A and B are shown apart, each in its own frame.
Chain A
Amino acid sequence: MSLTVLNVLVAVVIAIGFAALNAAYLVWAERRGAARIQRRPGPNINGPFGLLQPPLDGIKLMTKQIMIPGGADKILFMVAPVLAMAPAILSFVTIPFSDTIVAHNMDIGLLMIFAFASMGALAVLFAGWGSRNKYSVMASVRAVSQNVSYEIPMLITAITVVMITGSMDLKTITAAQTGGFWNWNIFPSLHSPLMPLSFILFFICSLAETNRAPFDLGEAESELVAGFHTEYGSMGFGLFFMGEYANIVIGASLTTILFLGGWDCPFGLFPGVWWFLLKIYLLIATFIWIRWTFPRTTIYGLLNLSWKILIPLSLFNLLLTAGLLKVF
């Protein structure tokens, strides 16, 4: 019994540590990447290559006073940032980094991650409503409708993968894809020739789920000032910021597990955690690259894309996969 408690504690500490470290250093990577794209140096003063920038930013944010705007709903205002960060950290618990490194494997790991991911919308709604700011309310309403409409095609695409693998256990899903890149779910197999398309669908949905450009309508800097976190300063803002990056890591991990074979090596050699990390960081680099290349879409363009293109496509893919699974 005591051993299990210790195990859980160690797992939670590692998960929080991994999430926080990733969030902090992805901010640095994003700023350096953006600077490279925009032909400017970026943060390079503090430490070698500016590597001390994230901890210093953290200290700065933590030493700032928490300002609650007059008339705001204090409880919702304070709960929202925690609610933005907590589900992202909890989701790390069930992600298998390799066949041995997983904090707590669950039969319904995929379902758990989606359940926690949809709590992110709640955080945004609380933040917008609790701030008592017209810009925040508008932004949070946008963000929630965006999250709702993108979770549907994302889930349908995930169900396609679950149908092929026959399991919601993330470890089993990955194990079914081992043995070289031809076994990965992204590549067309007998199951469904549309798998590359559903990979792209899933990738677009995870971009939209994390409220990042070109779908950053919840923040929409040039329209709604700073969106749902307009009124947040100090660590409240810091938690939203870290939550966003933690969600990016979750999104990239999930994409890797469902489509890119998790910890599997493309050539069938030396599978391990390094392949998993390499894949998720490549995906994250793509996230960053996309953000600094594209302008923002409109809210109706975004919803049209989801309801008129992504959902019918993912449903069609689901049907096709089901049919082909029955035939073969």
Chain B
Amino acid sequence: MSAPIQLQPGETFILNVGPQHPATHGVLRVKMEMDGEYIVKAETVLGYVHRMHEKMGENRTYAQYLPNLSRLDYLGALGYTHGHVLVIERAAGIEVPERAEYIRAITVELNRLASHLFWFGCYVMDLGGFSPLMYALEDREYILDMLEAVTGARLTYCYYRFGGLYNDVDDDFIEAAKRFIPRMRKSLKKYAALVTGNIIFQKRLEGMGPISAEMCRKYGATGAVARGSGINFDVRKNEPYSVYPEFDFDIPVYHEGDSMARYKVRMDEMEQSLRIIEQGLAKLPGGPIMAEKKPKNIKLPVGDFYQAVETARGSFGIRIVSDGDKNAYRLKLRSPTYSNMHLFDEACEGMMIMDALAFMGSLDLVIPEIDR
């Protein structure tokens, strides 16, 4: 038997949260220096699922690299492949048919909804409420079924192609999406009544884990984290791409900077995504879904190309340095969760462990996307 632990007054101990801890939702390890239940210092340790996606991008052709992008964030994969096809199309000068861009916008928004729904369920589960997860998963199932019918996959989609899409949407998809919108609006009202209005939930979130706008800028936080701290930045509005300028939608911004603000931003974003899908379905033009003139083996001209897109978790950027070959000379992915997560170390100092983990949930971390 080893010697008994004897803590001196004021002495701290190290608590390893993860890499197999239920609150981290993946293989993230947080080394916490604890004083009782209070966190003195926290250090996030990464790299447990590092798969060298950026290096793979330099060894594979652009088309071969396409499926890799959906393995970053498995909950909102379409947004990431969207970024990749956009940067390649712009660099190679490929004209995308309008119908394809509309379908891309609709499917990306559906995927964003699915991702936010999963986050919502898991977040409430982090706080100890189990039932909303099941309701959220039920709604998400409708989206996954719809996307499966057109893309052939449920999570790791490879639906977009350089110059268009793999597959056109059929009437069934459009019908299902039209049926889904009022259903989802009803569900959002239910969530507001069941979760947002709950006093325990409000008490745990309000004022918890405040992040200032300066701190967001310091760490490069984007997405709901930045918008919950009063930074009105959304790539879809600020650096418009695809057909987003043609849609009428709002960017929810809250100024409190606490977990509740981030929660509200995401809940409002779901409503806005529904608006975009509704307009997209109404405006959906006919025509081809694939560009007419498209080189078989894509080679980018020599140069440095960057494209940012707004994914479910924030601003995702892909930078390709091309030397004119059929694969990239250098490739860099700027993943939103990587930046958002680094807030945690600073923001959770002095918090109790239960509040810190509730705060971590509000950042909406997806570990494979941090580690890449």
Q: B-contacting residues of A (Cβ < 8 Å)?
A: 34, 37-40, 70-71, 132, 134-135, 138, 142, 213-214, 216-217, 220-225, 292-301
Q: Is the CB of A294 within 8 A of B135?
A: no
Q: Complex: how many Å from CA A217 to CA B355?
A: 13
Q: A223-B23, A295-B124 are contacts. A34–B130 as well, Cβ < 8 Å? A: yes
Q: A-contacting residues of B (Cβ < 8 Å)?
A: 1-2, 5, 13, 15, 21-23, 37, 124-131, 134-135, 138, 194-195, 198, 200-201, 203-204, 352-355, 357
| Nearest A residue to B195, CB-CB | A295
How near does chain B come to A140, taking the closest CB pair, in angstroms?
13
Most chain A beta carbons < 10 A, residue from B21, B201, B354: B354
Q: Is the CB of A134 within 8 A of B126?
A: no
Q: Is the CB of A301 within 8 A of B203?
A: yes
How near does chain B come to A73, taking the closest CB pair, in angstroms?
8
Partner of A222, one of B125, B204, B355: B125
How would you classify the secondary structure of chain B's contact residues: helix, strand, loop or mixed? helix
Partner of A296, one of B129, B131, B135: B129
Q: Give me 7 A-to-B residue pairs in the complex whose CB atoms sit less than 8 angstroms apart, sorted by A's number.
A: A38-B131, A134-B15, A294-B128, A295-B127, A295-B198, A298-B352, A301-B204
Q: A34-B130, A38-B131, A71-B2 are contacts. A223–B353 as well, Cβ < 8 Å? A: yes
Q: Is the CB of B37 within 8 A of A299?
A: yes
How many residue pairs between the two chains, A and B, have CB atoms under 8 Å in the bound complex? 81
Q: A220-B128, A294-B129 are contacts. A300–B138 as well, Cβ < 8 Å? A: no
How near does chain B come to A297, taking the closest CB pair, in angstroms?
5
Most chain B beta carbons < 10 A, residue from A34, A71, A134, A222: A222
Residues of chain B with a CB closer than 8 A to A221's CB: 22, 128
Q: Complex: how many Å from CA A223 to CA B23?
A: 6
Q: Is the CB of B352 within 8 A of A222?
A: no
How near does chain A come to B185, taking the closest CB pair, in angstroms?
19
Q: Is the CB of B128 within 8 A of A296?
A: yes
| Nearest B residue to A214, CB-CB | B200
Residues of chain A with a CB closer than 8 A to B198's CB: 294-295
Partner of A299, one of B13, B131, B135, B352: B352
Q: A134-B13, A298-B204 are contacts. A214–B352 as well, Cβ < 8 Å? A: no
Partner of A138, one of B37, B127, B130: B37
Partner of B354, one of A34, A213, A292, A298: A298
Q: Is the CB of B352 within 8 A of A295?
A: no
